[in-house]
Amino acid sequence: MTPLARFRRFWLPHPLFSLFLALLWLLMVNELSVAHALLGLALGVAIPVVTHAFWPEEAKIRRPLPLLRYLGVLLLDILRSNLVVALRILRPARELRPGFFTYPLALDDDFAITLLASTISLTPGTVSLHHDAEANTLLIHALHLEDEAEAIASIRTRYEQPLEEIFR
C-alpha cells in the first residue's frame, strides 16, 4: 500500500460519512460561515478516525446517482416538515395526535438502517427511538400520527426503497 493510500485510509476512513457529518454540522448550527465550515470539516474528519475501530465494515455505495436523488428528497422533506410542524405547533394543542408505531424494515445492511433511522430523526415531527435487530423493526415516534399505515408507506417509498437501491 502506498504512503498516500495509508494516509487517506487513516485520516479519511469513511469519506462520505465525513462529508455527511460536516454538512450535518452546518445544518445544526444553522449558520454558514468559514469558522463553522472548518469546524464541521474537523468534526467530519475526527469523529470517523476516533470511531473507526467500532465500525464493523465499510459501507459499500453501489449506485451514487440515487444517493444524490435521495439527498434532494431528504432536504425537501426537511424543509416541508419544518413548515408542517410549525403550523401544527401554532394551532391549539388538541389538534396534535402524537403516537408511536413500529416500522418493519426490509433493509438488512446495518449502515443503511442507520441512515434510515437518522433520516427519520432528521425530518421534523418524527424520531427513530429503537432498532430491534431480532424483529428487524424500528420504533418511531410521530408528533402527529393520523394513519400508521400511511406513515409506514411514506417512509418505505420515500426513504427505504431508495436506500435499498443505493446499497444493493
Q: Encode pLDDT of 120-139 as tens digits.
A: 998 888 999 999 999 999 99
Angle between helices 110-122 and 64-90 (to 10 degrees): 30
Spell out, as residue ranges, where the chain has pLDDT lower than 50.
none
DSSP secondary structure code for residue 124 in this structure = T
Please name the residues in contact with 68: beta carbons below 8 A apart, sequence gap of 6 or more.
Answer: none
For the entire predicted model, the pTM comes to 0.68
Would you state the cell numbers that stand for residue 31, as one nine-digit string?
A: 449558520
Q: In what order do the strands lie in the sheet with 126-132?
A: 99-104, 137-142, 126-132
pLDDT on residue 58: 64
pLDDT of residue 57: 67
CA–chain centroid gap for 143, Å, is 18
Model pLDDT for residues 94-115, shown as the tens digit of each residue:
678 889 999 999 998 888 899 9
